[in-house]
Every structure is written in C-alpha cells, then in structure tokens.
Amino acid sequence: MKKVWMILLVVVIMVGLFVPSASALPPFNKEWMSKYKDGSKNAKFVEAVETAKCNVCHQGESKKMRNEYGKAVGKYLTKAKYNEIKDDEAAAKKYILEGLQKAEGEKNGGGKSYGDMMKAGSLPGGA
C-alpha cells in the first residue's frame, strides 16, 4: 500500500513540474486596469471594460486566442520575459507599463491607434 502512495505522490509532483503556470496574466491585467480603467473619467469606457473583462484583449473560448489589440500587446509583453523579472516588482511593473504604452501606439486594421480608441472611450479590441 505504501508503494502505491509513493508512486501516486511522484506522479503528482511530476505533473506539477510540467504544467505551465499562468502567473503572468494577473499582473498584466492588474496594471492594464490601473492604467486605463481606474484612471478613466469616461463612465461609458469603464462600463465597457467591466462588461468585456478579459475580452479587452482576448476572444473566443481559449485565453490563447487574442483579438487585434491582444496581439499588439503580445508583441511587447511575454510571459517568458515577465517570469525572468517577476521577482523584482519595480522592474516587472516597468516592463508591463512600457509594453502597454508601446501597444497603445499600434494601429488596428482600420488605421486607428489603440491609444486614441481608448481616449475616445472605445475598447481597443472592439469587444
């Protein structure tokens, strides 16, 4: 019986080592909300963000599926890079905010910058 429990324990540990972590997602969302939603005086924009939630950047069933804006953000923010610096809170925050700023300057398929869209009260991903 002890042998079965030991094998089960080893299997659980091995699975835990190889399952990818989603640790990068909450900090990206937290900084995005702080930068755009919490500082906005546009009630319509704030309501749209609260309704869209994750769909500000994502679409579809899987969080791996991103809308145009999410793809622009993904050019500048990666989970791998974040994981390298996440222990240094100041560096991690700077990395995220700089990535969001760069994505703001990107343009959607219609030629509008994501930053201008958000200033006008529209969701950047069109959700």
Q: Tell me how far the alpha carbon of residue 24 is from its chain's centroid.
A: 7
Residue 13 lies in a domain: no
- Output the pLDDT for position 78: 94
Average pLDDT value for residue range 93-113: 96
Residue 4 lies in a domain: no
Q: Is the dihedral of CA 58, 33, 26, 92 positive or negative?
A: positive
- Output the pLDDT for position 34: 95
What is the token pair recorded at 67?
A: 């809308």
Residue 83 lies in a domain: yes
Residue pair 97/31 in contact (Cβ under 8 Å)? The answer is yes
Number of domains in the chain: 1
User: Band of the pLDDT at 19, cuts 50, 70, 90?
Assistant: very low
Residue pair 46/40 in contact (Cβ under 8 Å)? The answer is yes
Residue 69 lies in a domain: yes
Whole-structure pTM over 0.85, yes or no?
no
Return d(Cα 23, Cα 86) in angstroms, integer. 9
Q: Decide if pLDDT at 21 tops 50.
A: no
- Output the pLDDT for position 63: 82
Residue 114 lies in a domain: yes
Dihedral (C-alpha) 30, 91, 83, 59: value to the nearest 10 degrees?
A: 30
How many C-beta atoms surround the C-beta of residue 16 within 10 A? 9
Residue 15 lies in a domain: no
| Tens-digit pLDDT profile for residues 112-126 | 999 999 999 999 987
The rounded radius of gyration (Å) of the Cα atoms in the chain is: 19
Average pLDDT value for residue range 18-24: 37
- Output the pLDDT for position 13: 60
Report in angstroms the alpha-carbon separations of 111 from 36, 81, 106, 114, 117.
21, 29, 9, 9, 11
User: Band of the pLDDT at 10, cuts 50, 70, 90?
Assistant: low
Q: Decide if pLDDT at 38 tops 50.
A: yes
Residue 3 lies in a domain: no
Residue 56 lies in a domain: yes
- Output the pLDDT for position 101: 97
Domain that holds residue 43: 23-119
